[in-house]
């Protein structure tokens, strides 16, 4: 299996621009998670989906952030407009069941820099 695939690996943009991050989960995994990692705040859960339906988006920082999962093999995280404080590594992860004892498989992440 190819694992969780994220694109792009690096994104540099200017403040005010729209940014779209993409994720392809492992085939057969029903749960998809978006995390953000910074030095100051560590790894934070932004939102997660079960069977393409958003379950918990309480971690989404503000209305500038939105996430979609139009089908089982694709999800996007969009930031519009982007701000310098959005600079971070964004990870996508997937799991098979979402049960408490289920481990997460992470993608390689997208390093976002907003200038």
Partner 1 sequence: RKEVEQDPGPFNVPEGATVAFNCTYSNSASQSFFWYRQDCRKEPKLLMSVYSSGNEDGRFTAQLNRASQYISLLIRDSKLSDSATYLCVVNTNAGKSTFGDGTTLTVKP
Binding site residues, partner 1, CB under 8 A: 31, 33, 35, 42-45, 48, 55-56, 91, 95, 97-104, 106-109
Closer to partner 1 by Cβ: residue 31 or 65 = 31
DSSP tag of 107: -
Shortest Cβ 108–partner 1 spacing (Å) = 6
Facing residues of 60 across strands?
none
Residue that the structure tokens 């997937």 belong to: 94
Shortest Cβ 105–partner 1 spacing (Å) = 8
Shortest Cβ 100–partner 1 spacing (Å) = 3
Closer to partner 1 by Cβ: residue 79 or 107 = 107
Q: Is the dihedral of CA 85, 10, 75, 18 positive or negative?
A: positive
Q: Determine the Cα–Cα distance for residues 25 and 40; give it in Å rounded to an integer.
A: 27
Closer to partner 1 by Cβ: residue 28 or 42 = 42
Read off the tokens for 112: 């976002």
Closer to partner 1 by Cβ: residue 71 or 103 = 103
Which residues make Cβ contacts (< 8 Å) with residue 42, sequence separation at least 6?
A: none
Shortest Cβ 114–partner 1 spacing (Å) = 19
């Amino acid at each position: 299996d190819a694992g969780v695939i994220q694109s792009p690996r690096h994104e540099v943009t200017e403040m005010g621009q729209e940014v779209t991050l993409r994720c392809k989960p492992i085939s057969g995994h029903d749960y998809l998670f978006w995390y953000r990692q910074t030095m100051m705040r560590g790894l934070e859960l932004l939102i997660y989906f079960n069977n393409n339906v958003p379950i918990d988006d309480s971690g989404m920082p503000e209305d500038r952030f939105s996430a979609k999962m139009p089908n089982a093999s694709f999800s996007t995280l969009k930031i519009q407009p982007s701000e310098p404080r959005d600079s971070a590594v964004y990870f996508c992860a997937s799991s098979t069941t979402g049960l408490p004892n289920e481990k997460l498989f992470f993608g390689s992440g997208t390093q976002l820099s907003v200038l």
